[in-house]
Amino acid sequence: MEPETKVVGRVIKVHKTGWGFISSKEIEFTRIFFHWTALRQDTVKFPELKTGMTVEFTPVEIPGKGYRAVHVRVIPKVITENNNEPEETEDDMLPLYESGQEPN
């Protein structure tokens, strides 16, 4: 990945102690770690972050450890005029874990 490349993903785990994981189509088969300090100031606060939220972030590869997300920002869902429900996009259908469980 190029430095400062923005990637879109979905929050797949949020832990109350201040960390979590993101899944992205652009970095397949990888859980991308993030820490609460990676959230941008212009987005939601960590306690408001929920599993399933769509986020934009910059992935940084840490040698021997994998990817870490920095500059994380929640992307708000668009409300349609028809039904006042968020419109589902292709990005909303990211392949998470088919078994419903996280990998070990």
DSSP secondary structure letter of residue 2: -
Q: Is residue 26 included in any domain, yes or no?
A: yes
Number of folded domains that form the chain: 1
In the predicted model, what is the mean pLDDT of residues 67-89? 73
Q: Is the pTM of this model over 0.85?
A: no
pLDDT digits (tens, 9 = 90+) for 34-49: 999 999 999 999 999 9
Residue 20 lies in a domain: yes
**Terminal-residue alpha carbon distance, the chain:** 25
DSSP secondary structure string, 40-103? -TTS--GGG--TT-EEEEEEEEETTTEEEEEEEEE-PPPBPTTTSSBPP-GGGG----TTSS--
- CATH number of the domain residue 74 falls in: 2.40.50.140
Question: What are 94-104's pLDDT values in tens digits?
Answer: 444 444 445 44
Of 100 and 12, which is predicted with more confidence?
A: 12
Question: Is a pLDDT exceeding 70 seen at residue 24?
Answer: yes
Let me know if residue 100 belongs to a domain: no
> What is the domain range of residue 41?
7-93
pLDDT, residue 78, reads 65
